[in-house]
Amino acid sequence: MRLGAAALCLAMAPSAQAGLLDNLLEALKPKPVVSFEAAASQVTEGGARTISLKLSRSSTRTVALSYTRGGSAGAADYSATPATIQFAPGETLKTISVSTVDDTQVEGPETLVLTLGTPGYGKLGAPAQHTLTLADNDAAPPTLGFSAATASGSEAQASTVDVVLSAASTQTVTVGYATSGTATRPGDWQVAPSGTLTFTPGQTRKTLTITPVDDAVQESAETAVLTLVSPANATLGNPPVHTRTILDNDAPPAAGKWVTGYYVGYARDLYPLEAVDFSAMTHIVIGRVRPLANGSLATDFDIDAVEGPRWAKQVVAAAHAAGTKAIVMLGGAGEYDGFVGAASNANRARFVANLVALANEYGFDGYDIDWEPIEPKDQPYVKLLAQDLRAAAPGRLLTIPIGWINNNFPEQAEPWYAEIAPLFDQINIMSYGMASGFWGWNTWHSSAIYGETGMTPSSIDSSVRNWLRVGVPAAKLGIGIGFYGSCWRGVTQPYQSTDGVDTGGLPINGNDDNDMSYTNIMTLYYSASAKRWHEAAKAPYLSSATRVGPQQCNFISYEDPQSIAEKALYVKQNGLGGTIVWTINQGYLPNAPAGQRDPLMQALKQGFRSP
């Protein structure tokens, strides 16, 4: 005999009848849906967070599921219970308890992502994922840095620099320092206190004293470098390095080097004649007289036919009154064709006769033959011109400026210049304006003494060595000092690549000569905070992340008294003859206090002329 479902139900015990009925009714309903109550929440590390899950309806069946853990937080950052979720019949709310670990590490926010798995009975709803953000509660430690990145002073002067803690700490902070630089310890300098610096809670400054050794040795400027190391309960900030430049105070070797300064008519108002310090120069070159192709001369001195000659004669008279030789500049940039014609066989005799008459009328003590450029085909005529001048004016001086040498092309130094050296009293390298981004170079100084590389292939030293190599006598060889600098855009220091730099739509370089005179640099561009010293090149520069001045410069190379002192030392140590300056007009500071208006001329006097 077979019984129907109703008969079977009636035949069962009452409790069994109720269970069977519930199951039948449960089967007729939509399956319950499991989800998180919220998609996200936050907790501060060290705290706890309860994350709720809900069931869309109560069920007569058990609803069980697991969940996975992800996110950027690691297992060491938290614990979560229970490992699985189980809704008993009739339950609609469950929780996961997350406890976070309160560490001492300074870190950014981290996340714990809980993702629900598919329940054994029921369905998965939204949100099925919950992101818990763990917020850090640790304060960043204070930073340590020097109060200044650089300092400079005589070897007779001690200096101090503070190590500064950015904020007072509740912990004891310690830091050490390492020493380096071109100066040696303890022979050249000492620093105190030694060892580790200790900041007790609340302290924010410790002072270091750098004491140079005041010896009797005549030497180049040297550097003492302090570098902060091994901080505890703090991190290193800026600047972590302090460089003290130690300037020598010992008398240089015997003087007797020439200082030949160019003084040009077109810029005469920049350095009034009555302000010129002739005692800084052995020779003044008065510019300029232009050679004409027929052998005659244009004597307007870049002023006019009346005022030019009058001004030139006044300069000669002032120079002679001060005991300074006066030389006339012949030619210069743009006068190549005039020289070629005037020195030709057809016109050279007339040209020489006019030059002799010029010197007699004005009182010039000699001639500066500024023939630019001297091509190989011109060399015989330059030599003949010098020979004829020597014969026609035996008591007068002859000088000639020559080019600097790109160290990648040493063959530019031609032995022919050694051949003509006996005819000249001075052979001066125009060692300024020796870098440009337009040549595909990395950033570099206008007149570095050292430090040349393949991508910055100019320096005074490399040019001098190349000219000496081909036989130009050291005693007749001079270097060049420019009283102007150079402007670079989109870069802030030497040795930088210029590829792809942001120049603000301007060329990589601005104008240099005249526009970037020392006068303009000091009045329109200079700030003490921007000044830097490049020890490898023995050259100063200005560095600014923002563009400054009329030409919108970021990196400015220029001369200052320290670099001129280094050049004077280089000339003396290498047995060279002296230096030229282009042009003394560009170094005058008319608005400075009296006695401080021509610092570069004073540096020339101290470096090249002082005993």
pLDDT at 252: 44
Mean pLDDT of 98-110: 87
Residue 48 placed within a domain:
yes
Do 101 and 121 belong to one domain?
A: yes
State the CATH number of the domain containing residue 66. 2.60.40.2030
Phi, psi of 48 (to 5 degrees): -125, 155
Question: CA 221, CA 151: separation in Å to the nearest integer?
Answer: 13
Give the dihedral sign, CA 375/378/384/385: negative
Q: Which residues contact 83 (CB under 8 A, 6 or more apart)?
A: 66
Do 66 and 156 belong to one domain?
A: no
Residue 23 placed within a domain:
no
Do 180 and 219 belong to one domain?
A: yes
Tell which of 232, 247, 262 closes a domain.
247
Tell which of 119, 135, 151 closes a domain.
135
Q: Do residues 463 and 448 lie in contact, with contact meaning Cβ atoms separated by under 8 Å?
A: no
Q: Do residues 242 and 565 lie in contact, with contact meaning Cβ atoms separated by under 8 Å?
A: no
Residue 126 placed within a domain:
yes
Q: Do residues 70 and 115 lie in contact, with contact meaning Cβ atoms separated by under 8 Å?
A: yes
pLDDT at 3 over 50: no
Complete edge-to-edge strand list for the sheet that includes strand 150-154: 150-154, 241-247, 222-232, 173-180, 197-199
Residue 64 placed within a domain:
yes
Do 189 and 118 belong to one domain?
A: no
Beta bridge partners of 242: 226
Give pTM, 2 decimals: 0.61
- Could you report the per-residue pLDDT of 147-161, keeping only the tens digit for each? 999 888 888 889 999
∠ CA 434-422-461, nearest 5°, is: 25
Q: How long, in residues, is the chain?
A: 611
Do 103 and 119 belong to one domain?
A: yes
Q: Which of 320-324, 533-537, 607-611 has the lowest mean pLDDT?
A: 607-611
Q: Which residues contact 447 (CB under 8 A, 6 or more apart)?
A: 431, 432, 433, 434, 460, 480, 481, 482, 539, 557, 559, 563
Q: Which pLDDT band, with edges at 50, 70 and 90, does 408 fall under? A: very high
Give the dihedral sign, CA 187/191/192/197: negative
Residue 423 placed within a domain:
no
Residue 204 placed within a domain:
yes
Do 119 and 155 belong to one domain?
A: no
pLDDT at 490: 96
Residue 407 placed within a domain:
no
Helix (H) or strand (E) holding 191: strand 189-192
Do 124 and 151 belong to one domain?
A: no
Give, as one character, the DSSP assignment of residue 224.
E
- Could you report the per-residue pLDDT of 465-518, keeping only the tens digit for each? 999 999 999 999 999 999 999 999 999 999 999 999 999 999 999 999 999 999
Q: What percent of the chain has pLDDT over 70?
A: 94
Calculate Rg over the CA atoms of the chain: 41
- Could you report the per-residue pLDDT of 199-210, keeping only the tens digit for each? 999 999 999 999
Beta bridge partners of 134: 43, 110
For 118, the token pair is 């598919």
- Could you report the per-residue pLDDT of 255-268, keeping only the tens digit for each? 469 999 999 999 99
Tell which of 247, 277, 293 closes a domain.
247
Give, as one character, the DSSP assignment of residue 138.
P
Cα of 100 vs its chain's centroid, Å: 47
- Could you report the per-residue pLDDT of 328-348, keeping only the tens digit for each? 999 999 999 999 999 999 999
Do 77 and 117 belong to one domain?
A: yes
Do 155 and 215 belong to one domain?
A: yes
**What is the number of domains present in the chain?**
2
Query: Closest Cα to residue 141, out of 232, 77, 239, 238?
Result: 232
Residue 219 placed within a domain:
yes
Three-state DSSP class for residue 420: helix
Three-state DSSP class for residue 586: helix
Average pLDDT, the chain: 92
Do 123 and 175 belong to one domain?
A: no
Do 129 and 150 belong to one domain?
A: no
Alpha-carbon dihedral 180, 182, 184, 187, rounded to 10 degrees: -150
pLDDT at 407 over 80: yes
Q: Do residues 494 and 443 lie in contact, with contact meaning Cβ atoms separated by under 8 Å?
A: yes
Orientation of helix 379-392 relative to helix 348-362, angle to 10°: 50
Query: Closest Cα to residue 598, out of 499, 531, 504, 522?
Result: 522
Do 118 and 102 belong to one domain?
A: yes
Parent domain of 223: 143-247
Question: CA 20, CA 13: separation in Å to the nearest integer?
Answer: 11
Question: CA 146, CA 95: separation in Å to the nearest integer?
Answer: 53
| Buried residues in 443-482 as b, exposed as e (16+ CB within 10 A) | bbbbbbbbbbbeebbbbbbbbbebbbebebeeebbbbbbb
